[in-house]
A and B are shown apart, each in its own frame.
Chain A
Amino acid sequence: MKVITANFVTCAVKDCKTSAASFPLHFHDAELEMQEIDFQPEFIRNVIPRIDWEGLRVTANELGFPSLPDSKPEGKALEDERTLKDLHRLLLETQVMEGRLVCGNCGHQYAIKEGIANFLLPSHLV
């Protein structure tokens, strides 16, 4: 699972959607793997404005990455190739292969196995 994915998912439990604590889901016991993916500077530049930066900071921290800047890169900063490459590496090339995503509201844990996160709920939570 690419790191960017965590920025666009939340708990599948209906009642959690209204709780701010359900985003972002929290990584536990994450095992990472780097996978080379074509660098498209335009893609990163266009996607960054849509990223929930606070959420990404939490995620990056949980995965053991050095702290991201306090505020989201904008304008000129998005012309900087280094910045875009770093974000490309974090968002697209970093894969979470094993581990769990945990909801900060209900505590439900979603397993990540061989790179794929499973959001199916057990019947008692449906």
Chain B
Amino acid sequence: MESQAEAYEQENVHEVYQNIAQHFSATRYKPWPIVHQFLQNLTSGSIGLDVGCGNGKNLMANRNVFIIGSDRSENLARIALKQHPHSAIVADILRLPHRDAEFDFAICIAVVHHLSTPERRAQAIAEILRTVKRGSDLQPGGQVLIYAWALEQKDSRRGWAKGDQQDVMVPWVRKNPTAPQESQTFHRYYHLYEEGELEGDVERAGGQVVTSGYEKDNWWVIATPKVIS
């Protein structure tokens, strides 16, 4: 089962991003407001992760912290390399090459919705929570900001709403401006999150929800590892 899900994601997520990296990157140039605010509020010298960093657009929000961005797509991580003073590597969200409880924060923006089973989505969140500092009664733990695409987006171009199918293939059209007939369409797999589902995944992953909300067609949550006292 596990290797089937992995092969599915390889074909319907990873390979697509490798193919659309340049065009995808050109359409994404600044962090969303809540992501921007989260990164801006960090203490100078904080160390953190951007898991599934894509072209690194979120890395530019704060140059006084150090972020290691990682992505499954080497083509995207390579674009992210240009965001100094930060860094970028190629890594898998389920097997992050980082020590336990080391980081002050992590962000994971528009990534977990690409994992194709509920178990793998919870595992991905657990893996990110593993890397941030554990809190205690005296000190809060590291915070993780997670975004996922919402099922509830009636007013968007896609028009999905509650009750619709949650596991969908979403087309990406790579246009060739000089030869429109050569435009190519790629399909990416998405799991659309319904209200409350992301919070549920965080709990299942051993995390605690600090705050959560909805912004522009996405559900978001700020989580921290559960304090064990």
* Chain A residues proximal to chain B, CB less than 8 Å: 1-2, 4-5, 8-14, 17, 23, 37-38, 40, 42-43, 45-47, 49-50, 92, 110, 114-121, 123, 126
Q: Which residues of B contact A123 (CB under 8 A)?
A: 3
Please report the total number of B residues contacting A with Cβ < 8 Å: 30
B164 beta carbon closer than 8 Å to chain A: no
Contact assessment for A120 and B44 in the assembled complex, using a CB-CB cutoff below 8 Å: no
Interface stretch of the complex, out of B63-71, B108-116, B142-150, B209-217: B63-71
Taking A47-B47, A116-B77, A119-B90 as contacts, is the C-beta distance between A17 and B99 under 8 angstroms?
Answer: yes
B45 beta carbon closer than 8 Å to chain A: yes
Which of A2, A4, A17 interacts with B100 by CB under 8 Å?
A: A17
Which of A42, A45, A114, A120 interacts with B72 by CB under 8 Å?
A: A120
Q: Which residues of B contact A11 (CB under 8 A)?
A: 97
Across the two chains, which residue of chain B brings its CB closest to A11?
A: B97
Extra pairs beyond A8-B98, A12-B91, A47-B47 (19, CB < 8 Å): A8-B47, A9-B68, A12-B92, A14-B95, A38-B85, A40-B63, A40-B85, A43-B45, A43-B64, A43-B85, A49-B45, A92-B84, A114-B78, A115-B81, A116-B78, A119-B95, A119-B96, A119-B97, A120-B72
B74 beta carbon closer than 8 Å to chain A: yes
Q: Which residues of B contact A49 (CB under 8 A)?
A: 45
Least CB distance, B123 to chain A, in whole angstroms: 11
Q: Which residues of A contact B99 (CB under 8 A)?
A: 10, 17, 23
Give bound CA distance, A1 to B70, whole Å.
12
Q: Which residues of B contact A17 (CB under 8 A)?
A: 99-100
Which of A10, A42, A116, A120 interacts with B88 by CB under 8 Å?
A: A116
Give bound CA distance, A50 to B97, whole Å.
18
CB 8 Å contact bits of B75-93 with A (1 = contact, 0 = none):
0011001001101111110
Give bound CA distance, A116 to B102, whole Å.
22
Least CB distance, A115 to chain B, in whole angstroms: 6
Q: 7 tightest A-B contacts by CB?
A: A46-B45, A119-B97, A12-B97, A119-B91, A118-B90, A5-B87, A12-B95
Least CB distance, B112 to chain A, in whole angstroms: 18
Contact assessment for B95 and A121 in the assembled complex, using a CB-CB cutoff below 8 Å: yes
